[in-house]
Amino acid sequence: MKVFDRYLELNPLNILQLKERDLSENIILLVYFIISTLFIYRIILVVIDRVKPAQDTIIQYNRRKTGRVLYTTFLVIALFPLVFSSLNFLPTVLGLAAAGIVISLKEVWLNLVGWLVILGSNGFRVGDRVYIDGIKGDVVNIALTKFSLVEVVNEPDYEQSTNRLVHLPNNLVIMQKFFVVSERMDFIWDEFRFKLKIDSNWEKAEEIANEILTNELVLAPEIIEAKMRELSKNYLLRIGKRTPIVYVTIKDGSIELSLRYLTPIRSRRLNRVLISKSILKRFKSETDIMFEDSE
């Protein structure tokens, strides 16, 4: 009988019916509520994954991240009246607490504001490449107070991942300027140069270089247009010329060829290698095209 009475005392349905509850009873309700909502949250995630599986890891990550934020928000709102139901001076307590929190946790609030900026139309999201505070990397996580990057070597010619995880406070997006290569517009203009001897057949060299760029680096126009339309929802963009081009100039007694072309940001180094190999192979058989000796 005592066991049954004890069960009735711990039954959350009975506790909820009490007009006045002590601290221990509120704690019991709190534990029951957290466990039950967490269980329901897990079930919802499993059902969503079964009904509509994620197509890739980014979609799965964003889905679970959104779910955690919504669950936490709901939990805080739902628990607020339960935790503070016994306080008679709740407005006064909250006012004093808010003033102290704002003063003592300035950095935290700046991080929260930075989080809102990141999630806004002028921010970035998981998968984007970001350069901020002298660090370049691909965004892999965005939290309330910080975001994480997989570091990329900050050299224009290399841009390879170092496989190091860098955690940065969100307030950096407020305090410093930052650069973003978005997944929605993940191609950039790249350019590299090489020199030929002044008596080389520059017209043939230009023709060969143009042919290599056109055959190996053609980005589908419909892909560019689709990404332009997506970004145009928030920005006024004009990309202008989209086809590769070779510039020929005379510099320091040599002929300099500058190859300029659009390339996906993560294929930048690979495309340079492919272009370089193709140029070396084609120029090798041309007796009237000679590279300038390096000093």
Q: Taking the domains of the chain in order of start, what are their residue ranges?
A: 2-86, 115-181, 185-284
Per-residue model confidence (pLDDT) at position 11:
62
Whether the Cβ atoms of residue 290 and residue 277 lie closer than 8 Å to each other: no
pLDDT range class, residue 3, cuts 50, 70, 90: very low
Looking at domain 115-181, its CATH architecture is Roll (2.30)
Per-residue model confidence (pLDDT) at position 255:
92
Burial 258-278 (b: 16+ CB within 10 A, else e): ebbbbbbbbebbebbeebeeb
Residue-wise pLDDT for 27-45, tens only, equals 777 777 778 888 888 888 8
Residue 209, CA distances (Å) to 180, 246, 272 in order: 30, 7, 13
Of 31 and 176, which is predicted with more confidence?
Answer: 176
pLDDT range class, residue 4, cuts 50, 70, 90: very low
Of 182 and 174, which is predicted with more confidence?
Answer: 174
Residue-wise pLDDT for 117-157, tens only, equals 888 877 888 888 888 888 888 898 988 888 999 988 877 66
What angle (nearest 5°) sits at the alpha carbon of residue 197, between those of residues 191 and 203? 65
- Mean pLDDT on 58-79: 73
Per-residue model confidence (pLDDT) at position 123:
84
Tokens of 108: 């935290």
Per-residue model confidence (pLDDT) at position 105:
66
Distance CA 181, CA 125 (A): 10
Question: What percent of the chain lies above the pLDDT cut of 70?
Answer: 69
The dihedral region occupied by 210, where left means phi > 0, alpha psi between -120 and 50, and beta the remainder, is alpha
- Mean pLDDT on 216-237: 67
State pTM to two decimals. Answer: 0.53
pLDDT range class, residue 258, cuts 50, 70, 90: very high
- DSSP assignment string, 60-77: HHHHHHHHHHHHHHHHHH
In this predicted structure, the answer to whether residue 94 has a pLDDT above a threshold of 70 is: no
pLDDT range class, residue 86, cuts 50, 70, 90: low
The pairing of beta strand 135-142 with beta strand 254-264: unpaired
Q: What is the CATH T-level fold of the domain 185-284, as seen in this structure?
A: Alpha-Beta Plaits (3.30.70)
